[in-house]
Amino acid sequence: MRKNIVAGNWKMNKTLQEGVALAKELNEALAADKPNCDVVICTPFIHLASVTPIVDSAVIGVGAENCADKVSGAYTGEVSAEMVASTGAQYVILGHSERRSYYGETVEILEEKVKLALANNLTPIFCIGEVLEERQAEKQNEVVAAQLASVFTLSAEDFSKIILAYEPVWAIGTGLTATPEQAQDIHAYIRSLIAEKYGNEVADNCSILYGGSCKPSNAKELFAKPDVDGGLIGGAALKVADFKGIIDAFK
Ligand code: PGA
């Protein structure tokens, strides 16, 4: 059966010292009270090598928030999937809407990034989701179907290694959350597309996370939906009490 996962996305927050302190605090909280789901924290690149050795890898996975679409070489300022993996990190968020909209990441670029992540044994947390105008025009299904093109060229074996995150852009950092019914509808649709492409077994085993203003007060209702397998958490991942409150939605 597919895994339930709560993953944090720190975005561009926390100095190295603050990030290390946050990871330590989370590690202690989850050592004292074991989670009933997989837990992942995705941090800025510079935190990875410091954070991986201080968390219990049996309880907390560590990931990056991005990686390059090139293997190596003269790409000033970029960080490759191989470099991410060399820190001990096991995950990488790819296709976050902030990367798509502010840094021009296309379906093709993301296809390269996903392949490089997998080639370096990183688990991609691949994000899809529509903007407000697309939701208002009821185009959300078309939008996510088009975004899935980046991962629908994978073999069934490789596709089975990825995690998906549905994040409606209008809900990210806005305090607006998709209703559990809205999340369930589109998650079920996404799973039906996977089933069409790769068959029922692959679709049933794929974890699809919800992201967008997820917090302790709404996580339980969202995660109770049959096709919502956890969350990708931004703002609420920056405070241990909030993040743990979301993790505890699986208790
Ligand atoms: P948010 O961000 O929880 O702050 O809305 C979620 C995300 O962008 O991954």
**How many angstroms does the Cα of residue 105 sit away from the middle of ligand 1?**
18
177 lines ligand 1 (CB under 6 A): no
Contact in structure between 143 and 130 (CB atoms under 8 Å): yes
Give the residue ranges of the chain where pLDDT is below 50: none
Q: Choose which residue among 172, 214, 247 to substitute to test ligand 1 binding: the one with the highest number of ligand atoms within 8 A of its C-beta.
A: 172
Residue 1 pLDDT: 85
**How many angstroms does the Cα of residue 166 sit away from the middle of ligand 1?**
11
Q: Whose CA is nearest to atom 3 of ligand 1?
A: 234
Residue 78 pLDDT: 98
Active site residues: 96, 167
61 lines ligand 1 (CB under 6 A): no
**How many angstroms does the Cα of residue 201 sit away from the middle of ligand 1?**
29
Residue 116 pLDDT: 98
**How many angstroms does the Cα of residue 235 sit away from the middle of ligand 1?**
6
**How many angstroms does the Cα of residue 236 sit away from the middle of ligand 1?**
8
Q: Whose CA is nearest to atom 7 of ligand 1?
A: 234
Q: Whose CA is nearest to atom 1 of ligand 1?
A: 234
Residue 176 pLDDT: 87
DSSP labels, the chain: -PPPEEEEE--S---HHHHHHHHHHHHHHHHHS--SSEEEEEE-HHHHHHHGGGS-TTTEEEEES---SSSSSS-TT---HHHHHHTT--EEEES-HHHHHHS---HHHHHHHHHHHHHTT-EEEEEE---HHHHHTT-HHHHHHHHGGGTTTS-HHHHTT-EEEE--GGGTTTS----HHHHHHHHHHHHHHHHHHH-HHHHHH--EEEESS--HHHHHHHHTSTT--EEEESGGGGSHHHHHHHHGGG-
Residue 142 pLDDT: 98
The number of the ligand 1 atom at minimal distance from the alpha carbon of 233 is: 3
234 lines ligand 1 (CB under 6 A): yes
The number of the ligand 1 atom at minimal distance from the alpha carbon of 212 is: 5
Residue 134 pLDDT: 97
The verdict on pTM exceeding 0.95 is yes
Residue 30 pLDDT: 98
